[in-house]
Amino acid sequence: MKPQAATGPERAREFGHDASSGGTLVVVSGADDWRLTNQVRYLSGVALHWRTWSPSRPADAGGDWDHDHCAFCWVHFGDHIFEDDPDTQVAGFSTDDSVHWIGQTCCEDFHAQFGWVVATPRA
Ligand SMILES: [Zn+2]
């Protein structure tokens, strides 16, 4: 007897919510990408600016904040390439307040899904 094909997780469905009508979740195919957690709660429709990295928070008792992570894939952002991470990003897209950072690749992959407005494109 042949094994039955596994029944996969329920397919992501496309919902045609209008982003301007109340900020409901927009679920599109590809929503099972490992990089997606709950970023829709704080990154839907935001403006993004290409910038040289700067810390997302001020120095505190622990000293200077020396790195951030891409909000999606967690790649490092820093002011130099870290010795232990040749993939460190020294520039990327950030929100108006520079709190959230998104790498070039993730910006390309998710910008349609999140409805981002690239206010400051990469030079
Ligand atoms: Zn990323």
How many other C-beta atoms are found inside a 10 Å radius of the C-beta of residue 85? 12
**Quick check: 25 and 40 in contact, CB under 8 A?**
yes
Model pLDDT, residue 6: 47
Determine the distance separating the centroid of ligand 1 and the alpha carbon of 5, expressed in angstroms: 33
- Determine the pLDDT at residue 8: 42
- Total residue length of the chain: 123
Report how far ligand 1's centroid is from the alpha carbon of 7 (Å).
Answer: 30
- How many angstroms is it from 48 CA to the middle of ligand 1? 14
Q: How many CB atoms lie within 10 A of CB 31?
A: 15
Q: How many CB atoms lie within 10 A of CB 97?
A: 8
Whether residue 26 is predicted with pLDDT greater than 60 in this model: the reply is no
The pLDDT mean for the chain works out to: 83
Between CA 20 and CA 34 the distance in angstroms is 27
